[in-house]
Amino acid sequence: MAHGDNSKEKVVYVGDSRVRRGSGFITPPDYTAYPGKSEAFIPNFLLKEWMVGVVVLVGILVLTISEPAPLGFPANASATVIPIPDWYFLFLYQYLKLPYASGDYIVLGTLGVTGVAFGSLLLAPFLDTGRERRFYRRPIASSLMFLSLAAIVYLTNTAWTEYKHEMAETGQIPEDVQREEKAAENRAKGLPTSSAVKAKEIAIVDKDDPAMALFKQATCISCHATDLKGAAGPSLRGVGDTHDKEAILKIIKEGQGQMPSMLDAATGAGLSDKDIEDLAGWLAKQKSQQ
Amino acid sequence: MFKNVYNWIDERLDITPIWRDVADHEVPEHVNPAHHFSAFVYCFGGLTFFITVIQILSGMFLTMYYVPDIINAYASVEYLQTKVAFGKIVRGMHHWGASLVIVMMFLHTMRVFFTGSYKAPREMNWIVGMLIFFVMLGLGLTGYLLPWDNKAYFATKVTLEIANSVPVMGPVLKELMQGGTIVGAETLTRFFALHVFFLPAVLLILLVGHFIMIRRQGISGPL
């Protein structure tokens, strides 16, 4: 059991801040020194705490069953979706949209106010050093906290209202709802209900075009492979979906990302300017949908 | 039987003192809701830990199905959600637990703040607690991307843009988290590693510190 007043153990756990700090050393009396109502942690209190835990657990399960975790459609960079962070980041998100926390003042937004707010929260014990613990006797600390709480509530609410408004204005429905509806519809029709993207192999367009030979001659194949599926470089099958002839020509001449300019390599391999243009034109024809 | 096993181990390793340090202590009246109902505010810390345990357990089960790559991540989550027995429940618990742990932790922080419990001699425990808060937010942020649906993708893009706007450190920080020039395959694996290995490891270390300190110092006295 807990250590009594005459405990001989070196470490006496359970301090008590009710004891005033005096000049001399006081052996901190433990809670058993106060009559009556303290209780052993194990098993008495832990069992009571477990009951509270069970109530919370049931709460989570009820939430889980009534509101399944949302899942939208697979990530697609060209989708039009209004970005929204998880709810507990909404206040920060909204705050960074304020005129003096964004644009030219973005540093003030990200480092200035946010840094000071979170920094002072982190260092609260060293800023609020008084002995007083009751919040109504610590007007500065308490009012700053109340102010922050009010700001958080206000910003969160504004962010959510604006999001809802924007969704309504653009006529968008949350994707998880759309996915559920689509799946239900397909289920009723006996169709597959999955929204996952299935990898489809894209065919080479005009494989017999002379440009295919140029492609090999110009050493493109060393990175993009003979079947155009890519190796060190990306796959070029379906490259025409995202790049037109001009863009491809530009990449060949100037490089892009890790790819250096290939103009010298191509001319060195005996391609004329026209050959290179033909090659780019042929690559631009590589579309996934005919 | 149990006693014999315990004694057998205790003879060799002398575990009783360790057990007493961990578990054998009294709970004072002023934090016990059985005596003063208003003391329920002292439950929030324990509940935060309880939900953290739920998060760890449900997360472990989720990793049995989840595949952290951009082609299969969504499909694996969809499979988990629609096909796996109780998958919906386990994912739901992880999803709702993620929100509730933030709520509980927030309430716990407010209790500690408004009862002035962070004052001497408990300053270090407050700081560790705040670090736990930041790690939890990090877990929320990294976990949000993992289903790899549009909501996750675009929210992460915005987050990384915000990180990018921090002067000097920003672009480095963004590239470190993003693992390249776009939000893509590397971002997903990085967020997965952070969410499943790095941050939980840091969290557990901080929690151990939090609990050792609370046992050393005891809970703050009544106001």
Pair B102, A88: CB distance under 8 Å: yes
CB contact under 8 A, B25 and A197: no
Q: Which residue of B has its CA nearest to A64?
A: B92
Q: How far is A164 from chain B (nearest CA, A)?
A: 15
Q: Which residue of B has its CA nearest to A13?
A: B216
CB contact under 8 A, A72 and B47: no
- pLDDT given for residue B103 in this prediction: 97
Query: Rounded distance, CA A103 to CA B165, Å?
Result: 10
Q: What is the mean pLDDT of chain A?
A: 84
The yes-or-no verdict on residue A21 having pLDDT over 60 is no
- pLDDT given for residue A15 in this prediction: 45
The interface predicted TM-score (ipTM) is 0.93
C-alpha count within 13 angstroms, C-beta hemisphere, residue B45: 19
Task: Give CB contacts under 8 A, 24+ apart, made by A92-101.
Answer: A92/A155, A93/A159, A93/B158, A94/A155, A94/A156, A94/A158, A94/A159, A94/A162, A95/A151, A95/A155, A96/B162
A260 exposure class (CB count in 10 Å sphere: 0-12, 13-18, 19+):
exposed
- pLDDT given for residue A130 in this prediction: 86
Helix residue spans in B25-86 (DSSP H) = 44-62, 73-82
pTM for the whole structure: 0.79
Question: Read out DSSP for B69-116?
Answer: STTTHHHHHHHHHHTSTTHHHHHHHHHHHHHHHHHHHHHHHHHHHHTT
**Residues of chain B where predicted confidence (pLDDT) is lower than 70:** none
Whether chain A has a CB inside 8 Å of the CB on B141: the answer is yes
Please report residues of A whose CB lies closer than 8 A to that of B94. 69
Burial A137-171 (b: 16+ CB within 10 A, else e): ebeebbebbeeeeeebeebbebbeeebeeeeeeee
Question: Could you count the other beta carbons within 10 Å of the beta carbon of residue A177?
Answer: 11
- pLDDT given for residue A36 in this prediction: 64
189-208 in B: which are within 8 Å (CB) of A? Answer: none
Q: Which residue of B has its CA nearest to A2?
A: B25
- pLDDT given for residue A126 in this prediction: 95
Q: Which residue of A has its CA nearest to B47?
A: A53
Of all residues in chain A, what percent carry a pLDDT higher than 70? 87
Query: Rounded distance, CA A79 to CA B34, Å?
Result: 54
Of the candidates A246, A245, A240, the one whose C-alpha atom is nearest the C-alpha of residue A287 is: A240
Of B54, B181, B218, the CB nearest to A14: B218
Sole residue written with tokens 């689509």: A182
CB contact under 8 A, B91 and A69: yes
Q: How far is B19 from chain A (nearest CA, A)?
A: 11
Q: Chain B interface, mutation test: which of A19, A27, A32, A38, most B Cβ atoms within 10 Å?
A: A38
Give, for A180, the enclosing helix (H) or strand (E): helix A175-189
Per-residue pLDDT, averaged over A136-165, amounts to 95
Four-point Cα dihedral B201, B204, B209, B210, nearest 10: 140
Sole residue written with tokens 């200035």: A112
Pair A156, A91: CB distance under 8 Å: yes
Over the stretch B42-88, which tens digit does the pLDDT of each residue have? 999 999 999 999 999 999 999 999 999 998 999 999 999 999 999 99
Pairing of strands A39-40, B26-27: antiparallel
The one-letter code for the residue type at A27 is: T
Query: Rounded distance, CA A252 to CA A116, Å?
Result: 49
Query: Rounded distance, CA A211 to CA B155, Å?
Result: 42
Pair A38, A18: CB distance under 8 Å: no
Whether chain A has a CB inside 8 Å of the CB on B165: the answer is yes
Coil, strand or helix: which one is A256? Answer: strand
What are the distances in angstroms from CA A197 to CA A33, A279, B49, B76? 67, 31, 38, 11
CB contact under 8 A, A129 and B118: no
- pLDDT given for residue A290 in this prediction: 53
- pLDDT given for residue A150 in this prediction: 97
Over the stretch A27-71, which tens digit does the pLDDT of each residue have? 555 555 665 677 888 888 899 999 999 999 999 999 999 999 999
- pLDDT given for residue A1 in this prediction: 36
Of the candidates A16, A53, A19, the one whose C-alpha atom is nearest the C-alpha of residue A38 is: A16
Of the candidates B44, B43, B33, B125, the one whose C-alpha atom is nearest the C-alpha of residue A17 is: B125
Of B81, B117, B221, the CB nearest to A16: B221
Of A75, A107, A133, the CB nearest to B152: A75
pLDDT band at A10 (very low <50, low <70, confident <90, very high): very low
CB contact under 8 A, A76 and B150: yes
Q: How far is A38 from chain B (nearest CA, A)?
A: 4
Of A2, A11, A142, the CB nearest to B24: A2
Whether chain A has a CB inside 8 Å of the CB on B53: the answer is no
Supply angle C-alpha B175, B177, B182, rounded to 5.
Answer: 55
CB contact under 8 A, A38 and B28: yes
- pLDDT given for residue A173 in this prediction: 92
- pLDDT given for residue A38 in this prediction: 79
Q: Which residue of A has its CA nearest to B123?
A: A125
Show me where the domains of chain B are located. Answer: 1-16+46-217
Query: Rounded distance, CA B8 to CA B131, Å?
Result: 40
- pLDDT given for residue B178 in this prediction: 93
CB contact under 8 A, B144 and A86: yes
Q: Which residue of B has its CA nearest to A96?
A: B162
CB contact under 8 A, A41 and B24: yes
Sole residue written with tokens 């922080």: B109
- CATH code for the part of the protein at B1-16+46-217: 1.20.810.10
Q: Which residue of B has its CA nearest to A58?
A: B93
Sole residue written with tokens 């995202």: A242
Whether chain A has a CB inside 8 Å of the CB on B138: the answer is no
Pair A40, B26: CB distance under 8 Å: yes
CB contact under 8 A, B88 and A60: no
Whether chain A has a CB inside 8 Å of the CB on B120: the answer is yes
Whether chain A has a CB inside 8 Å of the CB on B60: the answer is no
Q: How far is B96 from chain A (nearest CA, A)?
A: 7
